[in-house]
């Protein structure tokens, strides 16, 4: 080999410089991506609107969808057995199985409602129907009492009415407890519904986004979560939440004509009462308690609802109280709103296990005080 020329040396030096430059550029790019990824995670968990946050979690598979949705069928919108493994009865109510026809001597209570009855984010043994059965068994010994949790997350009064009429009355209840109204709030915040909101589900994207490779990757990279949300998720969000995409989903506004919708809520509830009274089934109505913790309302970070929603819930609660004050025989009211504290909620409306136990205790006190009118003072028929 001959001596190396100056050209060869300069060529090698140039290659080394280019490699070092490429390495530095790659490190800078990786550092920038790490900073952007860190910022994306911070924004996602601290400043991203709650509904869009949950939409991304559902899309990426981080939060498995708890619903199965079938078009044009009120009572087919039921909890998904694949998600709530070993938590649902064969009738898709939450809790252990029960017999139909009802066993002789059993006093059967059916709790109708939404996710606050179902016990969203609570175990089966932390729901108010479960606590209610425990408390009543102690308060009224000698009677076989069965409490059935027929709450369905996302149900409004229209869906609950259909569910009660088409399925639940066939389960032969001796008492029906109704805790409804939270999901009816959406009808008062959204334009264009006029007076018919029976076709509305609060979470229409449940079950509509498949587990694709992109979302499996996006589950771990928060930059891709945002890209996927902006490219793919907004059309699904706008299906119902379109007005919030333009006016900030943390500041929903009361829409004109909401008093007409209040009349529809009252009509649905009155029809449920009439349905039960026609079968001589007593009814207990619960008011609509909500948290007063400012963390759960706009303008707090992660807040879903504005403070005006509390006013809507109060108005719905007034409708419930007026129905109970109509002095229909066999209709009772349990007030819980002023009896729950800060530690009884884990968001604006959903109760912790402690809150559910308090609600169950208040219902049990009402049942025990009216046991003669409810037929619980008589010995069970053989």
Q: Is residue 226 part of a domain?
A: no
Number of domains in the chain: 1
Q: Is residue 328 part of a domain?
A: yes
Q: Give the β-pairing of 283-286 and 175-179.
A: parallel
Q: What is the mean pLDDT of each run of 10 residues along the chain (382 residues)?
A: 64 83 94 93 79 69 53 58 87 94 95 95 96 96 94 88 91 96 78 54 41 71 79 44 38 60 88 94 96 83 73 91 84 94 92 97 96 80 55
Cβ atoms of 250 and 299 closer than 8 Å = yes
Q: Is residue 287 part of a domain?
A: yes
What's residue 56's pLDDT? 73
What's residue 241's pLDDT? 39
Q: Is residue 357 part of a domain?
A: yes
Q: Is residue 34 part of a domain?
A: no
Rounded CA separation 209/141 (Å): 49
**Model pTM score:** 0.74
What's residue 234's pLDDT? 44
Radius of gyration of the chain (CA): 27
Q: How many residues does the chain have?
A: 382
Q: Is residue 202 part of a domain?
A: yes
- The CATH number of residue 93's host domain is 3.40.50.1110
What's residue 287's pLDDT? 95
What's residue 63's pLDDT? 65
C-alpha torsion angle, residues 157, 159, 160, 166 (rounded to 10): 140
Q: Which of 154, 135, 158 is nearest to 349 (CA)?
A: 154
Question: Domain of 312?
Answer: 71-211+245-374
What's residue 257's pLDDT? 63
Q: Assign 309 to helix, strand or coil.
A: helix
Q: Is residue 55 part of a domain?
A: no
User: Facing residues of 67 across strands?
Assistant: 79
Q: Is residue 220 part of a domain?
A: no
CA dihedral over 224, 225, 230, 231, signed as positive or negative: positive
């Amino acid at each position: 080999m001959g001596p190396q020329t100056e050209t060869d040396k300069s060529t090698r030096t140039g290659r080394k410089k280019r490699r070092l430059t490429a390495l530095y550029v790659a490190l800078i790019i990786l550092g920038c991506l790490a900073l952007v990824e860190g910022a994306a995670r911070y924004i996602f968990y601290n400043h991203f609107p709650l509904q869009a946050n949950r939409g991304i979690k559902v899309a990426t598979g981080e939060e498995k969808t708890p619903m199965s949705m079938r078009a044009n069928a009120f009572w087919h919108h039921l909890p998904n057995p694949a998600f709530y493994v070993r938590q649902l009865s064969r009738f898709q109510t939450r809790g252990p199985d029960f017999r139909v026809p009802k066993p002789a001597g059993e006093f059967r209570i059916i709790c109708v409602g939404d996710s606050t009855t179902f016990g969203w984010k609570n175990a089966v043994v932390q729901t108010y129907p479960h606590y209610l059965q425990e408390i009543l068994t102690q308060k009224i010994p000698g009677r076989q009492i069965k409490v059935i949790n027929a709450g369905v997350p996302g149900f409004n009064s229209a869906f609950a009415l259909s569910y009660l009429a088409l399925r639940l009355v066939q389960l032969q209840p001796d008492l029906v407890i109704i805790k409804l109204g939270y999901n009816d709030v959406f009808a008062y915040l959204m334009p264009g519904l006029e007076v018919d909101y029976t076709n509305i589900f609060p979470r229409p994207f449940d079950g509509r986004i498949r587990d694709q490779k992109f979302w499996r990757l996006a589950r771990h990279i928060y930059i891709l979560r945002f890209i996927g949300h902006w490219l793919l998720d907004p059309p699904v969000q706008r299906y119902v939440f379109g007005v919030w995409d333009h006016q900030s989903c943390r500041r929903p506004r009361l829409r004109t004509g909401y008093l007409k919708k209040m009349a529809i809520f009252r009509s649905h509830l009155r029809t449920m009462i009439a349905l039960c009274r026609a079968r001589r089934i007593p009814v207990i109505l619960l008011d609509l308690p909500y948290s007063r913790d400012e963390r759960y309302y706009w303008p707090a970070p992660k807040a879903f609802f504005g403070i005006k929603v509390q006013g809507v819930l109060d108005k719905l609660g007034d409708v419930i109280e007026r129905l109970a004050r109509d002095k229909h025989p066999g209709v009772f009211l349990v007030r819980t709103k002023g009896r729950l504290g800060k530690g009884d909620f884990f968001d604006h409306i959903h109760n912790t296990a402690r809150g559910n136990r308090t609600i169950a205790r208040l219902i049990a006190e009402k049942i025990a005080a009216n046991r003669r009118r409810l037929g619980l003072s008589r010995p069970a028929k053989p």
